[in-house]
Amino acid sequence: MKNLKLIEKFEEIIASEGFLLIDTIIRGDDKLRIIEIFIDGERAVTTDDCMRISRLIEKAIDESNLFKNYRLDVSSPGVDRPLKYLVQYGKHINRNFEVNYKDKDSVKKITGKLIRIDGNQLYFQNKNNEIKINFEDITKAKVLISF
């Protein structure tokens, strides 16, 4: 329960800096607790953003007296993690995606380039077709790395 309150505090701190808390992983034991926090937003996350948020979160952890020995890692989620929030998509226009989405009673999968966003509608170009997907129907979406 204490961890839940602390994670809510992390969310508050991260939001105050203009970002979203994407994931929190707390592992290890009392000898060394490892806290990994992944943040993202409408704009790219910089190293300076991570350092600033890390200092604010360290202060909150220290004030909570919850962990005596810990290591805190704050970073962006990286391309291997699926996108969770609509605001994360804008900075990825013209990039290729792998998207799983609900279509009536089934789940479909496409690979295509995100070409535009209109409200909750995302438009992907797949070969010669334009596919419109409502954000709420997306079950998993990952940016594909192109070399």
Q: Is the CB of residue 139 less than 8 Å from the CB of residue 100?
A: yes
Q: Is the CB of residue 116 less than 8 Å from the CB of residue 123?
A: yes
Q: Is the CB of residue 117 less than 8 Å from the CB of residue 90?
A: yes
pLDDT at 2: 65
pLDDT digits (tens, 9 = 90+) for 21-30: 999 999 999 8
Domains and CATH numbers, the chain: 2-75 (3.30.70.1350), 86-143 (2.30.30.520)
Flag whether the pTM goes above 0.75.
yes
pLDDT digits (tens, 9 = 90+) for 65-119: 888 899 999 999 887 788 999 999 999 999 999 999 999 899 999 999 999 999 9
pLDDT at 1: 46
CA dist., res. 23 & res. 55, Å (int): 18
